[in-house]
Amino acid sequence: MIGIAHEVIPADIDETPGADELPAALAERLAREKCAVVAAREPDAVVIAADTIVVIDGLVLNKPADRAEAARMLRRLAGRVHTVFTGVAAMRAGRLAFGVDEVMVTFGDLSDAAIDAYITTGEPMDKAGAYGIQGYGATLVERIDGDYFAVMGLGLRRVVTLLAQLGMAYEFGAPRLVEPPAA
């Protein structure tokens, strides 16, 4: 979307939360671990990794295991505010930069029929919190306070900021990152 050429490489890490690990810390840790795993395989690459955590009532809503769990999650979110934490990490030449975006998302009221119809699309099944704001799930959301792209799973402003911390400047309209001019 912003013109940076990229390749998607799964990290396949254990995403089990640590004892008493807070959601923001979990999102940050998982993004850093994913980044480190891929950077070890691709040492000459600029690596960007992210992890998104959906939280309501202190409960982390992961990807649903089945339709019934997706329905339970969506009923819990319906008509309420929840928090999305997206951790992002970037690594270049052994240097790491990272951060977390926190976004408040408000769902509209949802009928059981609407929840069932949404689940039937299949979209909720591989999404934290059982919804994807970039697809049909956009119709469930009444309000967002924060970065829409962080809710999608990768805050683009955060990415550009982290790359700048690693000495890379984003060039608008160009499909590449450039080294900043020497001072």
| Per-residue 3-state assignment (H helix, E strand, C coil) for the chain | CCCCCCCCCCCCCCCCCCCCCCHHHHHHHHHHHHHHHHHHHCCCCCEEEEEEEEEECCEEECCCCCHHHHHHHHHHHCCCEEEEEEEEEEEECCEEEEEEEEEEEEECCCCHHHHHHHHHCCHHHHCHHHCCCCCHHHHHEEEEECCHHHHHCCCHHHHHHHHHHCCCEECCCCCCEECCCCC
* Structural domains in the chain (count): 1
Catalytic residue among 20, 44, 51, 112: 51
Dihedral, CA of residue 44, residue 149, residue 112 and residue 117, to nearest 10: -70
Retrieve residue 92's tokens: 């270049």
* pLDDT above 80 for 174: no
Residue 7 within a domain: no
Residue 2, in any domain of the structure: no
Q: Is residue 16 part of a domain?
A: no
Residue 16 pLDDT: 86
The reply to whether 153 falls in a domain is yes
For residue 5, pLDDT over 80 is answered with no
CB 92 within 8 A of CB 166: yes
Q: Report if residue 13 sits inside a domain.
A: no
Residue 161 pLDDT > 70: yes
Residue 53 lies in a domain: yes
Which of the residue ranges 22-36, 108-122, 137-151, 158-172 would you say has the lowest mean pLDDT? 158-172
Tokens 């829409």 correspond to: 148
pLDDT, tens digit, for every residue of 86-125?
999 999 999 999 999 999 999 999 999 999 999 999 999 9
51 catalytic? Reply is yes
5 is a domain residue:
no
Domain with residue 131: its CATH number is 3.90.950.10
Q: Which domain range does residue 79 map to?
A: 23-176
Judged by average pLDDT, the poorest of 4-8, 125-129, 136-140 is 4-8
Contacts of 137 (CB under 8 A, 6+ apart): 118, 123, 124, 127, 131
54 domain residue, yes or no: yes
Contact 180, 169 (CB under 8 A): yes
The reported pLDDT for the residue numbered 175 is 45
